[in-house]
Amino acid sequence: MARFSLKRIFAMLILSLFLVILVLYGLGVGWNGKPWSSADVADGPRERVGTPAAEDQQVLFGDLHVHSNYSLDAAIFNSPLVKNGGVFTPADACDFARYCSALDFWSINDHAEGLSPRVWQDTLASIRQCNEKAGDPANPDMVAFVGWEWSNRNTSDPEQHYGHKNVIFLNSEPGQVPSRPIASQESYPIEQVPSVVKGVMSLMGGIEAMSGFNYATHESSNVPICAEGIVADQLPDDCREVALTPKVLYRKLDEWGFDSLVIPHGLSWGTTNPAKADFKNQLDQHDQRYQKLLEVYSGHGNSERYADFQRFGVKGSGEVFCPLPTENFTPCCHVAGQLIRASCDEPDAVVCNQKVEEAVGRFLEQGDSAGRRAMRDFGAEQWQGCGQLGNAFQPAFDYVPRQSAQYNLALGFDENGNPKRGRFGLIGSSDNHQASPGTGYKETDRIRYTDTKEVGEDSMLARFINAAPEKGGFYYTGGLVAVHAEGRDRDAIWQGLNSRNTYATSGERILLWFDLLNGPGGKAVMGSEVKMSAVPRFRVTALGAFEQKPGCPTSSERVLGVDRMQFLCASECYNPTDKRKAITRIEVVKIKPQVSPDEAVVALVDDNWRVFSCPADGNGCVIEFEDTEFSTDARDALYYVRAIQEPQQLINGDPFGCEYDEQGVCVKRRYCIGKEASRDNNCLAEAEPRAWSSPIFVDYR
């Protein structure tokens, strides 16, 4: 009898386990869910916030890097498991851009790998509806573009790493845009996760919220790979088209034949770029017809500056060593040695020296993440800001210097020594993952307006995955792209983007003009290429952004209603006064592109070539300058400017959370992570918002 009961109990346990696994499997493949779909775009007038025209042109502001929950990372970020933000669709992004941030244009850019045929058609339908609601196409209140993100994730081999690029199309109408996106990889990472594990994720985050995510993932993973050797526009619509390299991507875009731009982004962000990544390695894949612009600033930080530092050094014999700190960078291997030695009872003992060598060697052999993961007992503050670019405005996390905009602009040769240059205009955008284009209009609600995760970045999970919890302090509200355009319509904006008559801002709607006054054909605007031998003369005009009123315009409240305004805008909108902030100075950057493959880039970038102070009255700034050395140097040069606005409190304005001594040295760091980073804490610190012009390329003739 006892034996029978034990058998029966064992059988019941086996049956129960089977049922649990079956339920988890069902959740993982989305049996209880249904696909997300965009609701209708809101319909109602909005207040137009115009910018002054100059010589038949006006400045228009937009965001060309926005994700909805159709991107896998966005779906996970917004799930109850992480931020508990909800489901955000392309239609939500349209409403946010129109009624919350009051943009002039924007683009949706979900990751191509996760866009199934149904999801792509839903995205196109939302963008078309967004444009239909914008009024007269010749003078719309806003223009919506469509595209996707092509994300090369090869972080193990720097020579085969091509980074992340947004593909954007002029039109979204049937027959004027590809019938499917082009992915950068054949398999989607989530496809490797067992369905039972996805089911566990559902339970952890809430079945109702996560079931749609799982179903959408299952849906996209079932899309077969398109056959090779067939012209893109002749492939069936229900397959996943793949381009493993930029050259293949450009070939496929040529086959489609539609007007498009490809914009590299996340340039120096160490989370998605290997530490040894070098833009020179992808110059042989560069196509100037498509890659005309660089996203220099986003919610993931500033990728402008080239700083000549190394995480580890290599001697002539090939031996790897740990470099000494510089003014702007401290290698983590150096700090690791200090921490281990300080923890020894006898710092000078042989045993302690061995521990130091082992710790430093781990960093040199396996990299910063693995090295820090083996030393989890040390908190973020003890690492002294190692591995990060210091003395910079809101830098990208784990900065990769040879991916920076200045480095890219200075290159003149590819990895094989062949002459090759990228002539890039500069833009900003948000890289927002909550369908919220243009979030930088107010420094409020850090969790809603940045990619910061509500779960503690110093949790055990975060420490295990990244070993650098301070990453949570390097998320910002995001930037904007500004375009000098001859009108508000789609073609006028596209022309401004194509001609590089653009500039980037860190989120503030700063007005900026940068002109070459004595070009061969007369005045040349930012983004222009000219050939001359005379001394070039330039003019810069800048106006600060409008100060903001709290809340939202009544027109937005009337259209959205209180509940939807809270969900979309957190009840704060772009709501300007008529008072402008002051521009405090203009900084001029001069770069001389390489004339030989072995010419050191560090000597070619003059980051503060000229600096001009501006009146502090808020009435703007106009300065002129010339380069008398251009004619005597007899070599090509390019120039761009930064317009620096008066200091204000910014979310993660100081990502290091420094406390300074009387000499201005950071003596203590208090990263805004973990318990410090509560939902109510916006991690504000004083910093200087700014705008970066596109370069003017002056070739010596």
pLDDT band at 45 (very low <50, low <70, confident <90, very high): confident
Exposed/middle/buried for residue 487 (C-beta within 10 Å: 0-12, 13-18, 19+): middle
pLDDT at 694 over 60: yes
- C-alpha 549 chain-centroid distance: 28
Non-local CB neighbours of 351 within 8 Å, separated by 6+ positions = 344
For residue 23, pLDDT beyond 50: yes
Provide CB contacts within 8 A for 106, sequence distance 6+.
62, 63, 64, 66, 93, 94, 97, 142, 143, 144, 145, 437, 438
Position 213 scores a pLDDT of 53
Name which of 212-226, 443-457, 517-531 the model is least confident about: 212-226
Over range 611-636, report the average pLDDT: 95
Share of the chain above pLDDT 90, in %: 68
Stated as kind and residue range, the H or E segment containing 74 is helix 72-78
Query: Which residue type does 693 have?
Result: S
pLDDT for res 458: 45
Question: What is the rounded distance in angstroms from the CA atom of residue 236 to the CA atom of residue 43?
Answer: 35
**DSSP H/E element including 17:** helix 2-29
Query: Can you tell me the distance from the alpha carbon of 202 to that of 32, in angstroms, rounded to the nearest whole number?
Result: 11
Contacts of 462 (CB under 8 A, 6+ apart): 455, 456, 469, 471, 472
- CA–CA dist 67, 569 (Å, integer): 16
Give pLDDT tens digits for 337-396: 999 999 999 999 999 999 999 999 999 998 888 899 899 889 888 999 999 999 999 999
Alpha carbons 181 and 258: distance in angstroms, whole number: 13
Q: Per-residue pLDDT for 590 more than 90?
A: yes
What count of residues does the chain have? Answer: 701
As a whole number of Å, the CA-based R_g of the chain is 26
Q: Enter the DSSP assignment of 42.
A: P
- Per-residue confidence band for 204, with pLDDT thresholds at 50, 70 and 90: low
Q: What is the per-residue pLDDT for 209?
A: 46
pLDDT band of 113, cuts 50, 70, 90 = confident
- pLDDT of 57 reads 76
Positions of E strands within 32-93: 53-54, 57-63
Residue 195 DSSP code: H
DSSP letter, residue 96: I
The angle that helices 207-221 and 2-29 make with each other, rounded to 10 degrees, is: 70
The reported pLDDT for the residue numbered 478 is 95
**Can you tell me which residue has the tokens 């109510």?**
680
The SS3 assignment for 521 reads: coil
pLDDT tens readout for residues 380-414: 889 999 999 999 999 999 999 999 999 999 999 99
Average pLDDT, the chain: 90
Residues 23, 254: Cα–Cα separation, whole Å: 47
**In whole angstroms, what is the distance from residue 614 CA to residue 622 CA?**
8
Q: What is the pLDDT of residue 255?
A: 95
Q: 224-238, 406-420, 637-651: which range is least confident on average?
A: 224-238
pLDDT for 441-488, tens place per residue? 999 999 899 998 755 444 444 444 445 778 888 999 999 999 999 999
Q: What is the pTM of this model?
A: 0.93
Indicate whether 323 pLDDT > 60.
Answer: yes
Q: Is the pLDDT of residue 600 over 70?
A: yes
Q: Percentage of the chain surpassing pLDDT 70?
A: 90
- Tell me the per-residue pLDDT of 486-505, one tens digit each, with 9 for 90 and over: 999 999 999 999 999 999 99
Angle at 697 (CA atoms; ends 696, 698), nearest 5 degrees: 110
Decide if pLDDT at 13 tops 90. no
User: Running DSSP on this structure, what letter comes out for residue 99?
Assistant: I
pLDDT at 49: 63
Give the separation between CA 472 and CA 207, rounded to whole angstroms: 27
Q: Which domains does the chain have, with CATH numbers?
A: 53-177+258-309+391-700 (3.20.20.140), 313-383 (no CATH)
Above 80 in pLDDT, residue 9?
Answer: yes
